[in-house]
Amino acid sequence: MYNIVKKTFLTPTICLMEVEDPRIASAAQPGQFLIVRARPQGERIPLTICDYNREKGTVTIVIQIIGASSRMICALEEGESFTDFVGPLGQPSDFVKEDDGQIEGRRYLFVAGGLGTAPVYPQAKYLFERGAKVDVIVGAKTADMVILEKEMSAVCDNLYICTDDGSKGTRGLVTEKIKALLAEGKKYDQAVAIGPMIMMKFTTLTLKETGIPLVVSLNTLMVDGTGMCGGCRVTVGGRNRFACVEGPEFNAYEVDFDEAMRRQTMYKPQEIEADHKCRIGRDK
Amino acid sequence: MKRIPVREQAPEVRAHNFDEVCFGYNEEEALLEASRCLNCREPRCMQKCPVSVKIPRFIEQIRNKDFAAAAETISQDSSLPAICGRVCPQETQCEGNCVLGVKGEPVAIGKLERFVADWSRDNKIKVAHAAPLNGKKVAIVGSGPSGLACASDLARMGYDVTIFEVLHKAGGVLQYGIPEFRLPKEKVVEPEIENVKALGVKIETNVVVGRTVTIDDLLEKEGFSAVFVGSGAGLPRFMNIPGENFNGVFSANEFLTRNNLMRAFSPESDTPVYIGKKVAVVGGGNVAMDAARTALRLGSEVTVVYRRTEKELPARAEEVHHALEEGIVFNMLTNPVEILGDEKGWVRGLRCVRMQLGEPDASGRRSPVEVPGSQFDIEADVVIMALGTSPNPLIASTTAGLQTERHGCIVASEDGATSRRGVFAGGDAVTGAATVILAMGAGRRAAAAIHKYLSE
Ligand SMILES: Cc1cc2nc3c(=O)[nH]c(=O)nc-3n(C[C@H](O)[C@H](O)[C@H](O)COP(=O)(O)OP(=O)(O)OC[C@H]3O[C@@H](n4cnc5c(N)ncnc54)[C@H](O)[C@@H]3O)c2cc1C
Ligand code: FES
């Protein structure tokens, strides 16, 4: 169970894994996530579902090494297994509930920041296959942090890449690219932004005046991912919502991003310490 | 003769460790305590036991030093005796109704049950008897006490039973909620679950019923003839007061799950837990006591804030007593109105008002009313909300035709039948947060009803 059938590093710190789990593979929908544990004393780590193959019974996940637990996940090799692998969790994206006829011809703008490219991929693919018009902006720090470029270009009409240092695509932030596209006269019926909280916040501010509906996927802290702990709570539309069961996708214009960003830092000191220990352990 | 006192870790020692507080009776103590039972002809204790354990009978067997027989007697009605002996509210059930309690102290039925269960585990007595398979499959959602009890009974009747559990470990609240110092996981919970498995029950963890598979999939595609839903009441409530999302405010479920299921108190665990200097716990039930005593053991100074008086505390009497001994401060007749934060959004205190008990309402319960102008602040850098939980809506929202009521509780009859044919439910999922033994009782009644349904 939960066997890793394929592992590749997309960048030196971002790893893609294809994992066997027939039940999840047959149930997964765009917008959903899963929770994994890499070892018996491991943390429960939420990861978005990047792709699923119902015939092969596998799901694809993409992990970035940002701390002790993600480092441990990326240390697992092909042929090894996760200790635990559970999902799909959360609500599928709204468009999954719609008829294919409604989707056809609708104009989508996806804004993906860094690792956010992974969860954008299944959504773009789902919509593109059903005849939607799909534009994707991918933002990354540098050229070698851009992931899934080939896969993404196969499932959208236009792929725009921006990097902070201009080493690939346009130099600058995704928000500048959004403004540029709108200034060119591009029209969208729906936008979706997935990436670091700060990038989603500024995308929201940028799109607010345009009246284009915007959905964001919130990567809050989570423990169980089933609605049991409330650690993932966010304020949306002035109400407390549990991102793991009512989300992870919400109407961006109603999200309290500042609170969400602050809550993400709850365990920062412990995480830094754990990662430090983990590296020391590894270097010995 | 007086009730035999039970040996415990000294409060000042146990306040710094997660080992079990109570050592339980040894053989000699158990024999002495058992000799206090009058073996009433019409045992009042049994009337108050939700699963009708034959109490006088097993106590008599203890007295005869036939502990294996006592274990067998209990196992006819309870599949989790080492757990119930530790966590049941005996004072309002069996012991609360014991004749000896009228003038003096009741027989320590819970401690005797625990003695028998621990003895039989340590001596590897096999009490579980599986039956030959009858060829019918039953699925159970949730591995808490209701699911485990239902599964055991069905397995004993020959059903092929699979429990689906969303978390990575079986046990429900026994695993994620109730702390190690009250209910040791490796020593007590896991062996009792192993006993259930020894009957042939399969447990599949990491399966979210409603997402990984639906109840309809189980019935239509996976060949199960009936389903029992024992998914509990895991959804934590908050007060909806200002400041509840400041950093440092947790639901008791989050705080306890990090410590119990994820074992964050141990340096081996990768899961972090935030340890406050001063912790305020809001609530007065078992959950509040468990959160408070866990925080204390992690090194915090702890205050419990409760809006009624000590008399109304819904927690088990023993837990309140232990909490007081360990140095937890109780602020009774106190209700939070706001959580105070610093400029960075981290908790710095709890603004409260004093309450007084008003006139009794129609049900005779005196509800607390605010004392005007009584506002005051409690210093705290962590606030834990233990205000109760409701059933998770996931199952109901993904199962067509499954009726629920106001608080999301699944509507079910006394024997667990729901509005969907072939789907039964019981435990906290039906009643809202209650007790281990009530959940077990519901699981057992549902097992009988499922048997009847599948024999028709
Ligand atoms: C901290 C705490 C302390 C307590 N102390 C006591 C005490 O001292 N004495 C006492 O008698 N009672 C106590 N209780 C109450 C008692 O634990 C519960 O009443 C009892 O566990 C309910 O049993 P259950 O089987 O209905 O549900 P639970 O024990 O809640 O088990 C439900 C299980 O179902 C799983 N589940 C939920 N949804 C799904 C799904 N969709 N798919 C798969 N699995 C799912 C959950 O993960 C869980 O494991 C306490 C509760 C808490 C939280
Ligand atoms: S992660 Fe625990 S409730 Fe959402």
Query: Which residue segments constitute the domains of chain A, with CATH numbers given?
Result: 4-89 (2.40.30.10), 94-264 (3.40.50.80)
pLDDT in tens, B1-24: 899 999 999 999 999 999 999 999
Residue B435 counted as domain residue: yes
Last residue within a domain, chosen from B122, B151, B181: B122
Backbone angles phi, psi at B347, to 5 degrees: -60, 140
Summarize the confidence of residues B342-366 as an average pLDDT.
Answer: 90
CB contact set of A52 (below 8 Å; sequence gap of 6+):
A24, A25, A28, A58, A59, A60, A122
Same domain flag for B156 and B208: yes
Same domain flag for B90 and B154: no
What string of pLDDT tens digits covers the 284 residues of chain A? Answer: 899 999 999 998 999 999 999 999 999 999 999 999 999 999 999 999 999 999 999 999 999 998 888 899 999 999 999 999 999 999 999 999 999 889 999 999 999 999 999 999 999 999 999 999 999 999 999 998 999 999 999 999 999 999 999 899 899 999 999 999 999 999 999 999 999 999 999 999 999 989 999 999 999 999 999 999 999 999 999 999 999 999 999 999 999 999 999 999 998 877 777 766 655 544 43
pLDDT in tens, B402-439: 999 988 999 999 999 999 999 999 999 999 999 999 99
Same domain flag for B245 and B383: yes
- Please tell me the predicted confidence (pLDDT) of residue A284: 34
CA-based nearest distance B419→chain A, Å? 24
Which residue does chain B place closest to A258, by CA atoms? Answer: B345
Same domain flag for B285 and B383: yes
- Please tell me the predicted confidence (pLDDT) of residue B366: 82
**pTM for this entry:** 0.94
Tell me whether residues B176 and A27 touch, CB distance under 8 A. Answer: no
- Please tell me the predicted confidence (pLDDT) of residue A282: 47
- Give the residue among B4, B55, B58, B64 at the shortest CA–CA distance from B29: B4
Alpha helices in A130-256 (DSSP H): 149-153, 174-183, 197-208, 243-246
pLDDT in tens, B370-410: 999 999 999 999 999 999 999 999 999 999 999 999 889 99
Same domain flag for B250 and B309: yes
User: B115 burial class (0-12, 13-18, 19+ CB within 10 angstroms)?
Assistant: buried
- Please tell me the predicted confidence (pLDDT) of residue A279: 59
Q: Is the CB of B6 under 6 A from ligand 1?
A: no
B390, amino acid identity: S
- Please tell me the predicted confidence (pLDDT) of residue A140: 93
Residue B131 counted as domain residue: no
Summarize the confidence of residues B175-185 as an average pLDDT.
Answer: 96
A23 contact residues in B (CB cutoff 8 A)? 207, 212-213
Residue B434 counted as domain residue: yes
Residue B250 counted as domain residue: yes
Number of domains in chain B: 3
CATH of the domain at B86: 1.10.1060.10
pLDDT in tens, B184-218: 999 999 999 999 999 999 999 999 999 999 999 99
Same domain flag for B311 and B441: no
Same domain flag for B351 and B288: yes
Same domain flag for B250 and B333: yes
Summarize the confidence of residues B107-136 as an average pLDDT.
Answer: 91
Instruction: Find the chain A residues whose C-beta atoms sit closer than 8 A to any C-beta of B.
Output: 23-24, 27, 32, 37, 39, 41-44, 68-69, 72, 83-89, 223-224, 226-231, 233, 235, 240, 245, 259, 262-263, 265-267, 270-271, 274
Supply the DSSP string of B22-59, one letter for each residue. Answer: B----HHHHHHHHTT----SS-HHHHT-TT---HHHHH
Same domain flag for B251 and B374: yes
- Please tell me the predicted confidence (pLDDT) of residue B367: 85
Residue B128 counted as domain residue: no
Residue B91 counted as domain residue: yes
Helix (H) / strand (E) element for A279: namely helix A268-283
B269 contact residues in A (CB cutoff 8 A)? 41
CATH of the domain at B303: 3.50.50.60
CB atoms inside a 10 Å sphere around CB B2: 8
Q: Which range marks the domain in which residue B396 is found? A: 137-234+390-455
As a whole number of angstroms, the distance between CA A106 and CA A187 comes to 10
Residue B6 counted as domain residue: no
Residue B2 counted as domain residue: no
Same domain flag for B396 and B430: yes
- Please tell me the predicted confidence (pLDDT) of residue A278: 57
Name the token pair of A103. 């989707």
Last residue within a domain, chosen from B362, B387, B412: B387
Same domain flag for B418 and B325: no
Same domain flag for B156 and B257: no
CA-based nearest distance B129→chain A, Å? 30
- Closest to A86 (Cβ–Cβ): which among B208, B274, B394? B208
Q: Is the CB of A234 under 6 A from ligand 2?
A: no
CB atoms inside a 10 Å sphere around CB B380: 26
As a whole number of angstroms, the distance between CA B198 and CA B196 comes to 5
Residue B327 has pLDDT above 50, yes or no: yes
As a whole number of angstroms, the distance between CA B73 and CA B81 comes to 11
Summarize the confidence of residues B42-66 as an average pLDDT.
Answer: 95
CA-based nearest distance B245→chain A, Å? 8
Last residue within a domain, chosen from B387, B418, B440: B387
